[in-house]
Amino acid sequence: MSKIRTLFLLLISLTLTSACTSDDIQPPEPTSKPPNILLIVVDDMGFTDIGAFGSEIRTPNLDRLAYDGVRLTNFHAAPQCAPTRAMLMSGSDNHKAGMGSMFGPNAYKDFPADRVGYERYLHPRVATLPERLNDAGYHTYMAGKWHLGADDEKKPSARGFERTFALMDGGASHLELRGLGPKTYREDGEELNALPDDFYSTNTYTDKMIEFIAANADDGKPFFGYLALTSPHWPLQVPAEELDRYAGQYDHGYDVQRARRVERALQLGVLPEVDPDLFDPQGARWDELSEDEKRYSTRTMELLAAMVENMDDNVGRLVAHLKTTGQFDNTFIFFMSDNGAEADREDKNPNEARGIERSNYYDNSYDNLGKASSWAFVREGWAQASMAPYRLYKGFLTEGGTRVTSFAHHPRLASSGKIDNQFLTVMDVMPTLLSLANADFDPTRVRGRDVLPMDGKSFLAALQTSARVHGADEVIASELHGQRSLRRGDWKIVWEQMTANIWWEGEKPDHWRTWRLFNLADDPTEQHDLAAEEPEIFAELTTLWYQWAETNGVITDITPQWREPVQNGSAGSN
């Protein structure tokens, strides 16, 4: 591991030296001091939602980091938030980490109780990234969404973080201490009864991260900061002064928006060459909506854009702090979204409609959208505009559900806007950061307990060279809430079905609950099922998936309870 890090430091030094003239300021020599590490995870953000990936949303701070770093355009997360976080914090498959599902047995038919791999918290049979880095001499800080267990023994301060300010749940109001059900925050392990008077999630989480970093800035130890922002996860809310940042800018609708995003992303080189018209959207087309529906839908996208710009503002504040305090030049930043863009309907999804109706508080009328007493979502048209040309969105193991915005940045990583399009997975982040930190550890033991070794692979060398991380014959399989996939090189099989909490409006597609085969080199948008044309490859990959499922204790017949649409204010049935 020390050889990898030494190579990395040598490469960045050589790159900078070759870029300088004799009159330039000479770059610093490679140093053995481990770099600070800042891991920024945003929630439910679409692939093209920042400027460096094709967006019209104003994100100058993130764009600057992305353009100066390495954009990873084939980086994959899990299709929903908690499993991604479990994989990120463990370097392992979500079942090994305890997050085979986010939901209890009441969400499924015939769900076996006490199933190993489905504990729904970050299990101690895996080591965590903060445990490893803390043992390697790092301060470890966390601010934002945890969603990996709320009890005393499961909280982030019990899993390797020194300082924390954490939302324990999967989602909450961005403006106050409430939500559709009880919400819990912990600061340094202790439960909070109140939030700051000026609380806005992204602002407060950034404040806390700056506070944690500043507290130990002079003791010579590097820091690992995990900034787990909940923006732009629903509910769509922003501070009052930011409500109209994007007023009128999305009146063209999501069909036009989708085409513009794809065109811009193709120009930037962050998409493979695709036919932008080869797209099969789910849900109503824009011209099928009534004028009132268009007006309401447009407002939700305006609010999501404002949330993303606010997030960028806060990343800028954090970077400015690091520069002011002289820490930026030795800080490695990794940025990612936790899954594809969200697509939901507060008026049709019984989970949300029931809570909104029973709260006697939330008001989703047009004039109230974005305020503390609203609880609204973007719908599938805008989600697909953010994920296009990839198919579908959060909740599915299609490319649109798992291929996410990601980049790595270090001031000495002088890549001149390098774009790396090789397949990577969120499980690769932990081994990459441990390699960067030169952490020495026993892969099967941590803090006196036996643990499973990581599944991911370091991509540290790939940030400066053409090194390949995953071989053409390597098999990487996935499952969540009945969704399935397996990749081997350019080949991918996918199984789609109704998922537990993502609302699907309309008829269930004929291909649900069947395997389909795609060649992603030729068909990255998963349009052409080749199962019948390539029967041998199809049989090999499906067999491999079932072998993987058996080895990893995956439930192979998991069926979410069907949820009927809400009618006349009724919440429907489970």
Main-chain phi, psi angles of 163, to 5 degrees: -125, 135
Q: What does the pLDDT read at residue 323?
A: 97
How would you classify residue 193: left for phi > 0, otherwise alpha for psi between -120 and 50, otherwise beta? Answer: alpha
Q: How many CA atoms lie within 13 A of 325 on its CB side?
A: 18
List per-residue pLDDT tens for the chain, 574 residues long: 455 455 454 444 433 333 333 333 333 344 568 999 999 999 999 999 999 999 999 999 999 999 999 999 999 999 999 999 999 999 999 999 999 998 877 667 667 778 899 999 999 999 999 999 999 999 999 999 999 999 999 999 999 999 999 999 999 999 999 888 889 999 999 999 999 999 999 999 999 999 999 999 999 999 999 999 999 999 999 999 999 999 999 999 999 999 999 999 999 999 999 887 788 888 899 999 999 999 999 999 999 999 999 999 999 999 999 999 999 999 999 999 999 999 876 555 655 666 777 678 899 999 999 999 999 999 999 999 999 999 999 999 999 999 999 999 998 775 668 999 999 999 999 999 999 999 999 999 999 999 999 999 999 999 988 899 999 999 999 999 999 999 999 999 999 988 766 667 677 888 999 999 999 999 999 999 999 999 999 999 999 999 999 999 998 887 766 444 333 332 222 2
Residue 242 pLDDT: 98
- All structural domains of the chain, each given as residue ranges with its CATH number in brackets, are 2-17+35-110+120-466 (3.40.720.10)
Question: Could you list the active site residues?
Answer: 81, 147
Rounded to 5°, the CA angle 525-90-101 comes to: 65
Q: How far apart are CA 244 and CA 255, in angstroms?
A: 22
What DSSP string describes 392-439?
--TTSSSHHHHB--EEEE-TT---SSEEE-S-EEGGGHHHHHHHHTT-
Verdict on whether the full-model pTM lies above 0.85: yes
Q: Which amino acid is at 335?
A: F
